[in-house]
Amino acid sequence: MNIALNKNIKAESVNSLGFNKRPEETRVVVAMSGGVDSSVVAAKLKYEKYDVIGITLQLYDHGQAIKKNGACCAGIDIHDARRIAENLGFPHYVLNYESRFKESVIDEFAESYLAGNTPVPCIKCNEKIKFADLLETAKELKADCLATGHYVRCILGSDGAELHQAFDKNKDQSYFLFRTTREQLNFLRFPLGDMESKEETRLLAEKFQLKVAHKPDSQDICFVPNGSYSDVIKKLRPDSDKPGNIINLSGEIIGTHKGVINYTVGQRRGLGIGGGEPLYVVKINATNRTIIVGPKEALITRNITIKEVNWLGSKKFISAANNGWNIEVKVRSTQPAIPAFVIPLTETDANIVLSCDELGISPGQACVFYEVGTSRVLGGGWITN
């Protein structure tokens, strides 16, 4: 079975990607965003004599993109990826996925915000574009695998491919890849998963004489040019900024707002409500355009409901009986995993009982599962309540 291997996995293979053939006979498509991570992956594999093909996806309007640095797949980043491929001597292609990206990621992002949710478009992009369309393109090019610059690991376990956190927990991106399927993991390679730090990646970039060695990491969602979600949504849905009422937990109207797209659960600033105790957005009712506010304590929760569970565990998700079992979860990408108890309701829905109080959890965010005491990702789902 073709499987993404890391240096800590013993297997009978003759190359570093786990294939039983010479690197020269192994074709690898590298997803190149133009940043330092994917560029190092491409350079490393080229220096190891693999048959490398670079592909960069043009995901949104090039005229807008070329004005913005520090966002993946923007105009200047496409140029950087192309230049690296030319310098290292391997083919590079730019594929126009604007329509597909708009339909599957941008439009869904806008609709989710209009519904009062807090979406995570990078997860949708990985699920619906990079690990779906791009992966199929790699197969059409007769590639043996698709390699990316993500900081995660794929390890060969007793029942096949397992997704694990990166060695460097500060750079770990497993939260954003929880929708990856077992079949996709068999075809994917993550050469940076064993890096001890981002500095090690940049040192490799210097060794390979890559001009992007010190290029800043991407910070924003790629299709949000100025960091303002609401501006993007208003452009896509011109009637999305209709005003409404701000009410307290007793149902009293205490103010007005300028459109639900300007607010997220947990928000304190910019409410336009002066005096008294600090108030936070605790719920958004998009149907009647109402923002509900309350004290900080009203944001506390220990119970969440999730849907569309993608399960990467060793047994069926629903087979652990109605009593559920212990796991660890992340409800935000930037926080450590915390102990929790998952109770499956159906094959794709579950209740999650957290071991400690969490503040400001919003529908639309991801709840990602981890095996207790290990680095293994068990999947996850979308928070609905």
Which domains does the chain possess?
23-207 (3.40.50.620), 241-294 (2.30.30.280), 300-383 (2.40.30.10)
Compute the C-alpha angle 297/303/304, nearest 5°.
110
Chain centroid to CA 262? 23
- Residue found by looking up tokens 């770990």 in the block: 172
Full DSSP string of 174-199: GGGGTT--HHHHHHEE-TTTT-S-HH
Helix axes 75-88, 36-47, angle to 10 degrees: 10
Contact between residue 2 and residue 17 where contact means Cβ atoms under 8 Å apart: no
Write the pLDDT tens digit of every residue in 39-68: 999 999 999 999 999 999 988 764 554 455
- Backbone conformation region of residue 35, classed left if phi is above 0, alpha if psi is from -120 to 50, else beta: beta
Active-site position among 72, 73, 145, 222: 222
Active-site position among 125, 145, 154, 367: 125
Name which residue leads in pLDDT, 123 or 318: 123
Write the pLDDT tens digit of every residue in 127-165: 999 999 999 999 999 999 999 999 999 998 887 889 999
Catalytic annotation present for 222: yes
Helix axes 229-236, 107-114, angle to 10 degrees: 100
- Backbone conformation region of residue 262, classed left if phi is above 0, alpha if psi is from -120 to 50, else beta: alpha
Q: Which residues are CB-contacts of 333 (< 8 A; sequence separation ≥ 6)?
A: 120, 173, 175, 176
Catalytic annotation present for 72: no
pLDDT for 7: 42
pLDDT for 159: 79
Total length of the chain: 385
Say yes or no to pLDDT of 278 above 60: yes
